[in-house]
Amino acid sequence: MLRSGGTQSPASRDNFSRTSSSTGERATPLTPERSSETYARHLLLKKRGFPLWIPGPNNNLPTTYRRIGINIGDVGIITQSGAFSFLFNICQAPDSPINPRILPEQFCTLSPSIDPVDILEWNEFEPGSYLASASIERSQSNSSS
């Protein structure tokens, strides 16, 4: 959006002046930032892992994998559209139902294997929690309408 005098407002400039995380090219008014890039950029600032715009597994993967979803040992690619493209799992045997028939040469499982007690699990956020930018305030209305 242009202000009087021909300068862009900071909010408008932000939509077009960032570098695309997937292509490395600068976004311009002709190539606005993708929604998945905006989402990733905002959540990466919170340093809580890599945000996936498309968190579900590919429907072409085996049912066994789709039931479990992304797991420790999964090797894959973060796609331009913000999905995790699963390739194989280094914690599973080569003949595991989730691994493809064709694996990289010299593929071997992680040794020693990961012990489940070594995997830390906790609930950082309680039910009803939310993440928002500092400019968002939570309010509650007591009206019955």
pLDDT in tens, 75-131: 999 988 889 999 999 999 999 999 999 999 999 998 888 888 888 887 877 888 876
**What pTM does this model have?**
0.57
Q: How high is the mean pLDDT of the chain?
A: 77
Q: For residue 10, say if its preceding peptide bond is cis, omega within 30 degrees of 0.
A: no
Domain that holds residue 44: 6-51
Question: Is 142 inside a domain boundary?
Answer: no
Do 45 and 58 lie in one domain? The reply is no
Kindly state whether residues 58 and 94 are assigned to the same domain.
yes
**What pLDDT is recorded for position 145?**
54
Q: Which two tokens stand for residue 97?
A: 């139902």
User: Can you tell me the distance from the alpha carbon of 50 to that of 71, in angstroms, rounded to the nearest whole number?
Assistant: 14
